[in-house]
Structure 1
């Protein structure tokens, strides 16, 4: 055989690659200034982007008016499930899942495609995520029976993914907190809390021997049988809190699976619904919520307060943007009363990955004056927040 001559790979021109990227970003209209033509996959990607981002929401509104008048559309996705389903398939082929989820969310917001999600074939084409679950839950009342089971399957996938991501970390953090919350002066060697033991015996420091004589041992008691702590999650189900409702439902189910924690889940708008009896299945919990409507935090806290039987062993977590439609002074009075009774009270403006939402700053300041700082929390940080609350130590509040 004749030896083959090695070929030198042809590397893309960096300048041309930059121009290509700018062309995809700018959209290719007359003013983009690139003069770059797209072919093959790049052209298909550009078409998918243009269908969503190439025109303004007002343009799409005018298109809907033209379509209703029988004059057709000039561009966009088209107001039919097949065209949208094809577009969803395209973006899943060209972009990673995280980008697909953002584009789906933008399509629902910009193009008014929420009603198309009521069709089973559409749901089968989407990339499930927390925000899609929120949209489906908001459409629950309008959802036909033919779509309901498909919707539950979509919600189930998101819930299962969240449980895999969060459950082990939550159980580990809270089990450790429960063990540490009970101290003993006669610990076994493996249960000694060396940090607390050293601090408790600093008066017995012998500098010449560079040691501390442990006159008193401090250790972690073994977890006792039966329920030792109670957790109440009080969750605002107004429309802006959709992602928080999803995450809170998953955490509630995880906490309920721990035998040493008695967990209660309460959701509210202007009415209050106790979903504790559904905590064996977070999907049932989510379909028991009703996103949207007003907010009556005072009424929800009254429900929770009446069910606290062991204040010193109870943590109440209020998850709300604090836009109170009920009686403000009574709401703050209930928080103060619960804290005075020994209940640990935590206020979260959101339980999501999106950062701090819009919230009522006056109510947040009033809670802070009561010793209850209000802050947004990501799902990954929530186990540490709960562990600190169970141990009655300062909360690891994220930096603003």
Structure 2
């Protein structure tokens, strides 16, 4: 609720100090909605953020002063959606004033083609700040989950000494615990006799699985593109995985050679446009050399503009060859977006249930796919 001059007139109480400043920041945004920035509302009252970068930059500074970061991000998003401020993000001073988050990165990527050279370096710095935060949040958990899954997928019963997994070997041989005799007839130290050694041998140092991330870069998938690019870089850093990242709309672009820097990946995308899932899957299918050791992750809202039946046939063929196929309607914190329910149901019938996935759940989903066990599908999405 916005308490402004109208409320003051009706209640006889006017806001002052910090409360008045907070009210002014809210009024500028929410009473300015529905008209051009700098316009006038009904009754002649002036509201809105103005059409100049300095006035918006001041407003951004105000909301960062008066509201917590999570609220600031929502207000920034509303300002872009309600007041059409995307164009102002092309000015470096504006970018330096914003609170960077995943949604802002998505907006910047959608403006990439029209962004002037004077703004691009600032935009990359903003994107890198968000990417680094995501990497620090997600990398350790992802590497731990996938390393465990990969280790469990390759077992060696007679490993070399330097390849022995001592923690698992000790647990497996606890029944062979012996107490050694000590001095003067007292019990001495105990020991575990390792009758069964557990390790991973040379396979631990070789590529165990191939992962192909196939990402829909239509405008509605902006947050998913950001998260998938970060995860792609994390997966690519693991020597026991061979990771390929493919983005698509009506065209298909392989960004695998840029995976060492997710910022380069993001600026290599082109948000918006149509969708040809069949064409993208045809490309991914052509790159599969070890079906039984390959995981394909399709991230898309499934609004197919290509040939539907061919798309489903490709998924069925990949699964029949031994590929683990995962369909994510979104990879974001927002839950399931609008999506094509008929295509989701058809994929589920092929044994590839489509569901939304949060970034925190993604490592568990990948670990399950690598181990070829049931995916942790959220209950509400299980019948999608």
* Cα distance in 2, alignment partners of residues 100 and 62 from structure 1: 19
**Aligned pairs (5 A) from 1:363-378:** 363-378=343-358
Unaligned runs of 5+ in 1: 1-23, 199-215
* Cα distance in 1, alignment partners of residues 296 and 240 from structure 2: 16
Q: 1:147 to 1:62 in 2, by over 3 A?
A: closer
- 1:46 equivalent in alignment to 2:26: no
Q: Deviations over 1:11-63 (max 9, x none)?
A: xxxxxxxxxxxxx5555635997554211000000000000112431xx2496
What TM-score do the two structures reach when normalised by structure 1?
0.83
Q: Deviations over 1:291-324 (max 9, x none)?
A: 0000000000000000000000000000000000
Secondary structure at 2:243's aligned position in 1?
Answer: strand
* Cα distance in 2, alignment partners of residues 299 and 122 from structure 1: 39
Give 2:101's aligned residue: 129
Per the TM alignment, residue 398 of structure 1 is displaced from its structure 2 partner at its CA by 2.0
Secondary structure at 1:380's aligned position in 2?
Answer: coil
- 1:358 equivalent in alignment to 2:365: no
**Aligned pairs (5 A) from 1:64-83:** 64=39, 74-83=46-55
* Cα distance in 2, alignment partners of residues 32 and 344 from structure 1: 65
Give 2:235's aligned residue: 255
Give 1:225's aligned residue: 205
Match of 2:296 among 278, 301, 316: 316
* Cα distance in 2, alignment partners of residues 393 and 26 from structure 1: 55
Secondary structure at 2:379's aligned position in 1?
Answer: coil
Per the TM alignment, residue 98 of structure 1 is displaced from its structure 2 partner at its CA by 1.1
* Cα distance in 2, alignment partners of residues 305 and 73 from structure 1: 60
Unaligned runs of 5+ in 2: 176-194
- 1:37 equivalent in alignment to 2:14: yes
Give 1:301's aligned residue: 281
- 1:151 equivalent in alignment to 2:123: yes
What TM-score do the two structures reach when normalised by structure 2?
0.86
- Does structure 2 conserve the Cα–Cα contact (< 8 Å) formed by 1:192 and 1:218? yes
Give 1:389's aligned residue: 369
Q: Deviations over 1:80-136 (max 9, x none)?
A: 101000000000000111111110000000000000000000000001001001100
Q: 1:193 to 1:395 in 2, by over 3 A?
A: farther
Aligned residues: 352
